[in-house]
Amino acid sequence: MSNADSTMAYPFDDIEPRWQDYWEEHQTFRTPDEVPEEEEKVYVLDMFPYPSGSGLHVGHPEGYTATDIVARYKRMQGVHVLHPMGWDAFGLPAEQYAMKTNTHPRKTTKENIAQFKRQLKRLGFSYDWQREINTTDPDYYKWTQWIFLQLYEQGLAYQSEERVWWCEELGTVLADEEVIDGKSERGGYPCKRVPMRQWVLKITEYADRLLEGLDDLDWPESTKEMQRNWIGRSEGANIYFDLVDVDDSLKVYTTRPDTLFGATYMVLAPEHDLVDEITTDEQREAVEAYREEALQKSDVERQQDEKTGVFTGGYAVNPATGEEIPVWVADYVLASYGTGAIMAVPAHDERDYAFAQEFDLPIREVVEGGDIEEAAYTDDGPHVNSANDEVDLNGLDKADAKDRIVEWLEAEGEGEHQVNYQLRDWLFSRQRYWGEPFPIVFTEDGEDKPVPEDELPVTLPDLDVFEPSGTPEGPLATIDDWVETTDPETGEPVIRETNTMPQWAGSCWYYLRFIDPDNDELPVDPEKEQYWMPVDLYVGGSEHAVLHLLYARFWHKVLYDAGVVSTKEPFQTLVHQGMILGEKEYTAYRTDDGAFVSAAHVDADPGSAGGDTRTGDELETVNVDETDVTKDGDVFVLADDPDVRVDARSHKMSKSRGNVINPDDVVDEYGADTLRLYEMFMGPLEQDKPWSTDDVEGVYRFLNRVWRLLVDDDTGEPTVTDEEPDRDQLRELHQTIKKVTQDIEHLNFNTAIAAMMEFLNAANKWDAVPQAVAEPFVLLLSPFAPHLCEELWRRLGHDDSLAYADWPEYEEALLHKEVVEMPVQVDGTVRATIEVSADAEEKDVIATAKENENVARHLEGATVQREIFVPGQIVNFVTS
């Protein structure tokens, strides 16, 4: 039963497609190719979507509406706006679908894009569709390959043997998350890690610049912090430990060189190069077995709490104490961080402490302050037991001890100060079909060579059959007549690189291509780039807080160094829209025989089935209607049985939960303007918010009231008058202009809408609406509900679109009320509200306040110590 069926509803289903056609026909939102002469510009960008087969989700229009409002608002202010949209269309799902149905990913992708585009157009976004780009288009990925060549030529791309999960049965390489317990997630077939030659990008070379660049960006603090943590810069020292009976030394990285005197053993990662050399014959078998086991474990499995490890039989010399200390192999030391080896200081490191306890290794205190019988002490304190003939750390604190010992190590040639990063170089190849081919060939003697620029793009060959390649090298390796080619320079036979680029590649620079999408000479014209960059507002999900945004910043800096772009950072202001959750659900728990169990006794993730914590019985979940629950203190209980607590929360939308809202359905029922307005009205943009169909109807009613305020339902004629607006009407209008303008500037769309609702409530009480008030109001509403407002604008007598009409400006003088209400407090408690003239003097206001009966009553018998007067805000009498 929807209100939308009512005959009273405004005809959105007629209005919306009509205006969408108009905009398309008139190219209303086309941004000219030429660089405008006027300075002022704004580049408003959405994170472009992956066009999945399931179509648009209600989460998409949230960010897209926000940027659309800003774009439309800025256009009306006469600013040049770049507001494009495109498709991040390479990726695994289309390839998996191809293997299931033997449909070419190109076809699937094309269909999905058509679906997405149709859905977006229905929502009336003001994109310049002439600039649409698609990462799978050879004219686009030509330049992705070109950028790879820039990286290659600058020495930022190298090849390395990296281990991948290979599943013999499935005949394909799997990602980490597709392998569980060494078995494939699909089918449960055994997998093993095999080394593969892969391309890796030297993002670590840019670590410091990526870190520093964050400081000046107007980004959410949490996102900047996540990037900082991801880069993970730390300062410490490399220290060299000579090996006993082996002519080599062991290099370790530590952030606590000051605890060197407490290093009582050492640990190598199982992958460490020196394991073989160090291991003694007696220990070899045990070490080999341990190593074998560790190599087949996934990273997750290796991060179990219990520490495992095995003694190598070898010893190293602690350079500070001269002691010979045992060298172990353990998988709590990661090969990928630091040098893959550590000096273990069990007294002052929790992990080393746990390991030492497990294997009964000595624990020696070198920093005072804790109780090392109980636990590792990692805080600061005076150093002890830390002196030899040449250096003495005793009594020093952490910072001084670090300086002193590093100085000594450097003088002795036993170590040096070292900065380290958690950031790893970027594994840039995938053993897949549906991605950008690398512009690289290999000569017969195995040398890699770049494909010359004028030979780009290296296009993806077609495949007849989509099936697992049967080789870890991926599907392209099976196409001989593509792989085998000739070197255009020498005419010699060469073979092509058969890896493809990861999905991130295309999204690393798409914001540049939007500026100049058809350029076949360059990725982007420098003059246009200088005008439009940086992106002024970038909106997208926080799931991209690290990877996409870090990779894109990295490429941008490389392009900056190559002189392709003029800004050091691509995205000046970044906003993450919150997640839209499903409708709020109340969940009760029940036993087999139908008895309710209070949620207080249920052990389960809220909303999913679980067990009774007292009896262990399995419980089923029941959805309870909102009307059958009631609030009891902080929790909800069944109205009929207040002893039974129920879970009340909204969940992430998912097919399995069946709480997915399809934007198409909402548009069918209420129209695009309602969907847009609702998503903006739900709450602050950045916040997660639950969907509520009742609330959708609320904003729909608002749009209907706007329509009825200005248009006669029977005749379709406007109901406005040409009378001069009175003072009250002007004040209402100008207050609304001010509020809406400021709120859009701050992306506070929910309160902007509330202000317009307040305006409407006021206007509904007027006998008639003057045209001079109606028109600015329609303009204010237009970025939010563009179809409705275009229609109203037309009916109010305008021939052109309002897309470039002047944004209304408020007059300060019209905002003021002549008479204002002021609360009067006695000792901080409001006792009355008085009406005074807005420009009344303090003494008059105080006098009026004192005359108030209730105020007088509270002041009776008391001495007024102070009189607080804040003009227009408050009067407060403080008594003794």
Among 30, 186, 631, 816, binds RNA (CB under 7 A): 631
Residues 565-584 as x/- pattern, contact with RNA by CB under 7 A: -------------------x
Among 176, 225, 292, 527, binds RNA (CB under 7 A): 225
Binding residue count for RNA, defined by CB under 7 A:
90
Residues 55-114 interacting with RNA (rule: CB under 7 A):
none
422 binds RNA (CB under 7 A): yes
CA Rg, the chain, in Å? Answer: 34
738 binds RNA (CB under 7 A): no
Output the smallest distance, CB 471 to RNA, in A.
30
Residues 5-34 interacting with RNA (rule: CB under 7 A):
6, 8
Rounded to whole angstroms, the Cα distance separating 751 from 756 reads 9
Residues 354-373 as x/- pattern, contact with RNA by CB under 7 A: x-------------------
Query: Pick from 385, 391, 421, 410: which is nearest to 259 by CA?
Result: 385
Output the smallest distance, CB 737 to RNA, in A.
15
CB–CB of 712/698 below 8 Å? no
Residues 605-624 as x/- pattern, contact with RNA by CB under 7 A: -x------------------
Residues 287-326 interacting with RNA (rule: CB under 7 A):
299, 302-305, 307
Dihedral, CA atoms, 515, 516, 522, 526, nearest 10 degrees? Answer: -50
**Tokens (6 digits) for 167:** 């599943």
Output the smallest distance, CB 334 to RNA, in A.
4
Nearer Cβ to RNA (490/873): 873
Residues 252-291 interacting with RNA (rule: CB under 7 A):
253-256, 269
Q: What DSSP assignment string belongs to 189-218? A: -B-EEEEEEEEEE-GGGGHHHHHHHGGG-B
Residues 163-222 interacting with RNA (rule: CB under 7 A):
221-222
CA angle, 183 as apex, 180 and 189 as ends, to 5°? 150
Among 17, 695, 741, 850, binds RNA (CB under 7 A): 695
Query: Pick from 119, 29, 107: which is nearest to 74 by CA?
Result: 29
Residues 840-879 interacting with RNA (rule: CB under 7 A):
854, 858, 866, 868, 870, 873-874, 876, 878
Among 754, 772, 814, 856, binds RNA (CB under 7 A): 754
Among 226, 295, 639, 660, binds RNA (CB under 7 A): 226
Among 10, 43, 265, 702, binds RNA (CB under 7 A): 702
Output the smallest distance, CB 500 to RNA, in A.
24
Output the smallest distance, CB 663 to RNA, in A.
18
CB–CB of 750/756 below 8 Å? no
705 binds RNA (CB under 7 A): yes
Amino acid identity, position 147:
I
Amino acid identity, position 152:
Y
Nearer Cβ to RNA (567/751): 751
Dihedral angle sign, alpha carbons of residues 819, 823, 826, 830: positive
Sort 1 into a burial class: Cβ within 10 Å, 0-12 / 13-18 / 19+: exposed
Nearer Cβ to RNA (27/630): 630
Among 687, 728, 800, 864, binds RNA (CB under 7 A): 687
Token look-up 């317009």 returns 756
654 binds RNA (CB under 7 A): no
If you ran DSSP here, which 8-state letter would residue 618 be given? B
Output the smallest distance, CB 428 to RNA, in A.
19
Residues 804-833 as x/- pattern, contact with RNA by CB under 7 A: -----------------x-x-x-xxxxxxx
Nearer Cβ to RNA (354/427): 354
Output the smallest distance, CB 546 to RNA, in A.
7
Output the smallest distance, CB 653 to RNA, in A.
13
Among 420, 598, 674, 729, binds RNA (CB under 7 A): 420
Find the part of the chain contacting RNA (CB under 7 A) among 458-466, 528-536, 761-769, 772-780: 761-769
Nearer Cβ to RNA (303/623): 303
Rounded to whole angstroms, the Cα distance separating 286 from 267 reads 15
Residues 489-528 as x/- pattern, contact with RNA by CB under 7 A: ----------------------------------------
Output the smallest distance, CB 272 to RNA, in A.
10
Phi, psi of 519, deg, nearest 5:
-65, 120
Output the smallest distance, CB 566 to RNA, in A.
31
Among 17, 381, 382, 698, binds RNA (CB under 7 A): 698
Among 758, 772, 814, 856, binds RNA (CB under 7 A): 758
Sort 496 into a burial class: Cβ within 10 Å, 0-12 / 13-18 / 19+: buried
Find the part of the chain contacting RNA (CB under 7 A) among 247-255, 311-319, 457-465, 524-532: 247-255
Output the smallest distance, CB 673 to RNA, in A.
15
Parallel, antiparallel, or unpaired for β 324-329 and 265-268? parallel
332 binds RNA (CB under 7 A): yes
54 binds RNA (CB under 7 A): no
Find the part of the chain contacting RNA (CB under 7 A) among 99-107, 249-257, 461-469, 528-536: 249-257
380 binds RNA (CB under 7 A): no
Phi, psi of 706, deg, nearest 5:
-60, -45
Rounded to whole angstroms, the Cα distance separating 46 from 503 reads 17
Token look-up 């160090």 returns 278
342 binds RNA (CB under 7 A): yes
CB–CB of 705/8 below 8 Å? no
**Tokens (6 digits) for 299:** 């990273």
Query: Pick from 804, 835, 610, 818: which is nearest to 27 by CA?
Result: 804
Rounded to whole angstroms, the Cα distance separating 176 from 182 reads 10
Output the smallest distance, CB 237 to RNA, in A.
8
Alpha helices in 122-253 (DSSP H): 138-153, 207-213, 221-231
405 binds RNA (CB under 7 A): no
Nearer Cβ to RNA (332/589): 332
Among 331, 529, 569, 732, binds RNA (CB under 7 A): 331
Residues 540-559 as x/- pattern, contact with RNA by CB under 7 A: --x---x-------------
Adjacency order of strands within the sheet including 41-46: 80-82, 41-46, 537-539, 574-575
If you ran DSSP here, which 8-state letter would residue 78 be given? T
Output the smallest distance, CB 692 to RNA, in A.
6
Contacts of 405 (CB under 8 A, 6+ apart): 237, 257, 258, 260, 320, 391, 393
748 binds RNA (CB under 7 A): yes
Contacts of 231 (CB under 8 A, 6+ apart): 207, 210, 211, 421, 422, 423, 550
Rounded to whole angstroms, the Cα distance separating 463 from 465 reads 6
Find the part of the chain contacting RNA (CB under 7 A) among 21-29, 498-506, 752-760, 836-844: 752-760
Output the smallest distance, CB 475 to RNA, in A.
29
CB–CB of 749/680 below 8 Å? yes
Dihedral-angle region of residue 712 (phi above 0 means left; psi in -120 to 50 means alpha; beta otherwise): beta
701 binds RNA (CB under 7 A): yes
Nearer Cβ to RNA (348/553): 348
Rounded to whole angstroms, the Cα distance separating 598 from 647 reads 9
Around Cβ 778, how many Cβ atoms within 10 Å?
Answer: 24
Rounded to whole angstroms, the Cα distance separating 554 from 573 reads 17
**Tokens (6 digits) for 692:** 């509520």
Around Cβ 421, how many Cβ atoms within 10 Å?
Answer: 18
* Partners of 172 in beta bridges: 167
